[in-house]
Structure 1
């Protein structure tokens, strides 16, 4: 084994290696198989993802199978797992991003299927330098500039890049010394992809002007990565100061809201970082920099004017000095509120009932008091809010318009659209308000309550 290219020592019985069939992953897979040959407790599993994006995809899979079979016959403890994935080629996110997401999901699933929790990837120092430069060109923040982590736990799996500090030339030397056969990806020269443009058009000139660019850029990424734990700790402190429970939403999936009235008085840098951290926590994805800057600048003035606003594109609302989030808002906006249908669910039982056209689920649960009688579940209908609906908040109180009830109870605007739950033509339940007092069951009879569980827009 070439000096400096040994994988990190591991104690797991299964060593999973992401294996495309290319030069780098071939070298890593071979090095792991050789290292495990004399360790009876270890076995190496090569994980190959078939994207179907290239005309050569079938040939690459065949090469991967042939290579693993030959090595196994030579006494190396290696086997192959293959997963075929479908990549969405419609307009929107880049093919690179979609293929990467599909690949990582498939790799995660295969690692767990193989009975392991360790995955090795063959990225090297040049890959890290390129990633840092691409992130900088995209205007990335600290998390992006930290580039690829060398060792991290994600989804119950340890993702390790053991060669991240090694130059590509060392891998090339290993491949040559062991006469390893590998495939060439024909898309590597396609400059429509950003990384390929960098490699083909920029990198040679950069190295000519700055011969140590690869080492320097990778080192910068490593230094930024060192700051991530401190940043995470700072973010937790910011959120402890600004995040409060969502009193206007009593559903089990209620997200914490940002106390914008307090947050608005912070220095602009702290406002931006707190906004990034809050959105990442509740939405499960990053908030685009353009939105971070826009909200951090706009919201303080709106707080002073006691204004309310909705930013449906990102699922965020400002109401009564608080920023709240709903994963359903971007979905409803894309569908168009005017197209939201009346949905007849028919007889319902206890459990979660999917309503695809409303991008969520209606949960029916048994309660001791304050619910609707079981007979009301025979003809359940979901309706959008159209105006003029009357709702009685509690016994002895007069019915009032939904608009006034929403205002008096401080229900955030994103909850006001519905769906409203009816028993035939009688309003029974409203998100954010609960069961209409006129529909409440008598004491001692079987009764049920509702929860509306919106889809996650990121998952959808």
Structure 2
């Protein structure tokens, strides 16, 4: 809600200075997982109406998800995938080219730790990118370097009505356990922990980009003429670390024409 408020006010101020009017579209995903989901949707719709009365060129969109997790399937992963698909569909339908997400520095620190605990490599430890192009849309996280405390102060200063998701207190979810049990103790022992972890994620983003570029170079040297198989000799000539890096890249299909047959 803070990001939406800041965005429409910035668009209004730019228009007041003679810039073209930038309509703002609020995209709400109704997951249908909480008994309060209808209340959250209605809250967002009412808030957008109030801000329109204050002069916001603001449009509200909602998409309902019919999530049906299968046995053994991660509900968190299913909801995340469905949420991003819905956001992309709504954005394109509204004629948007940019989607803003409100993740902050504390979120980034948590993501880095979760990925580390799952044994992720550089790509996973890179956590969330500040900007990325995907499926014709530019996804931006303008507050990724901002601590949660600054956002809370903004909400208080502007008296922005918001909703706390009750599931955030459920320790069955890994991120909640980390946020509720681990991060407070980590901050007490190391007050700069969120900043340090977010900085580490930024360095991993650089490392992942460099590893990808190296894998592209190695792939060009070892790929067979058919473009879909690798030559054993040149592959064996690489160091073990470079072989592992190349194979991860190739198996993920990240290289030009890459991927497994």
Post-superposition Cα deviations, 1:67-105, rounded to whole Å, max 9, x if no partner, equal 111111121111111111222311234111111111111
Q: Distance in 2 between matches of 1:201 and 1:230?
A: 35
Residues 405-420 of structure 1 correspond to what in structure 2 (within 5 A)?
none
Partner of 1:117: 97
Deviation at 1:154, TM superposition (A): 1.2
Going by fraction, where is helix more abundant, 1 or 2? 2
Tell whether the 8 Å contact from 2:45 to 2:60 is kept in structure 1 after alignment: yes
Partner of 2:36: 56
Partner of 1:358: none
Partner of 1:177: 157
Tell whether the 8 Å contact from 2:215 to 2:242 is kept in structure 1 after alignment: no
Unpaired segments of 5 or more residues in structure 1?
Answer: 1-25, 247-254, 285-323, 327-460
Going by fraction, where is strand more abundant, 1 or 2? 1
Instruction: Using structure 1 for the length normalisation, give the TM-score.
Output: 0.53
- 1:42 and 2:22 matched: yes
Post-superposition Cα deviations, 1:24-72, rounded to whole Å, max 9, x if no partner, equal xx00000011111241521100000111111111111111111111111
Partner of 1:153: 133
Greater than 6 Å deviation, 4+ residue runs: none
Q: Distance in 1 between matches of 2:184 and 2:150?
A: 19
Deviation at 1:271, TM superposition (A): 1.5
Tell whether the 8 Å contact from 2:218 to 2:246 is kept in structure 1 after alignment: yes
- CA change 1:228–1:51 in 2 (3 A) is same
Q: Distance in 2 between matches of 1:245 and 1:41?
A: 53
Aligned length: 254
Deviation at 1:267, TM superposition (A): 2.1
Q: Distance in 2 between matches of 1:137 and 1:260?
A: 34
Pick aligned residue for 2:6 from 22, 31, 35: 31
Q: Distance in 2 between matches of 1:66 and 1:53?
A: 21
Deviation at 1:283, TM superposition (A): 11
Tell whether the 8 Å contact from 2:253 to 2:260 is kept in structure 1 after alignment: no
Tell whether the 8 Å contact from 1:256 to 1:282 is kept in structure 2 after alignment: no
Post-superposition Cα deviations, 1:345-367, rounded to whole Å, max 9, x if no partner, equal xxxxxxxxxxxxxxxxxxxxxxx
Q: Distance in 2 between matches of 1:59 and 1:127?
A: 25
Pick aligned residue for 1:69 from 49, 52, 61: 49
Pick aligned residue for 1:162 from 127, 139, 142: 142
SS at match of 2:132: strand
Residues 434-453 of structure 1 correspond to what in structure 2 (within 5 A)?
none
Deviation at 1:226, TM superposition (A): 2.0
Post-superposition Cα deviations, 1:278-310, rounded to whole Å, max 9, x if no partner, equal 1111799xxxxxxxxxxxxxxxxxxxxxxxxxx
Post-superposition Cα deviations, 1:400-430, rounded to whole Å, max 9, x if no partner, equal xxxxxxxxxxxxxxxxxxxxxxxxxxxxxxx
> Higher relative contact order by CA 8 Å / sep ≥ 6: 1 or 2?
2
Partner of 1:259: 231
Q: Distance in 2 between matches of 1:92 and 1:264?
A: 39
Tell whether the 8 Å contact from 1:86 to 1:102 is kept in structure 2 after alignment: no
Instruction: Using structure 2 for the length normalisation, give the TM-score.
Output: 0.92
- 1:216 and 2:196 matched: yes
Q: Distance in 2 between matches of 1:216 and 1:74?
A: 40
Tell whether the 8 Å contact from 2:250 to 2:260 is kept in structure 1 after alignment: no
Q: Distance in 1 between matches of 2:67 and 2:228?
A: 34
SS at match of 1:177: helix
Q: Distance in 2 between matches of 1:131 and 1:87?
A: 24
Partner of 1:349: none
Larger radius of gyration: 1
Q: Distance in 2 between matches of 1:188 and 1:257?
A: 46
Deviation at 1:266, TM superposition (A): 2.8
Residues 271-310 of structure 1 correspond to what in structure 2 (within 5 A)?
271-281=243-253
Unpaired segments of 5 or more residues in structure 2?
Answer: none
Q: Distance in 1 between matches of 2:63 and 2:231?
A: 45
Cα RMSD of the aligned pairs, angstroms, is 1.8
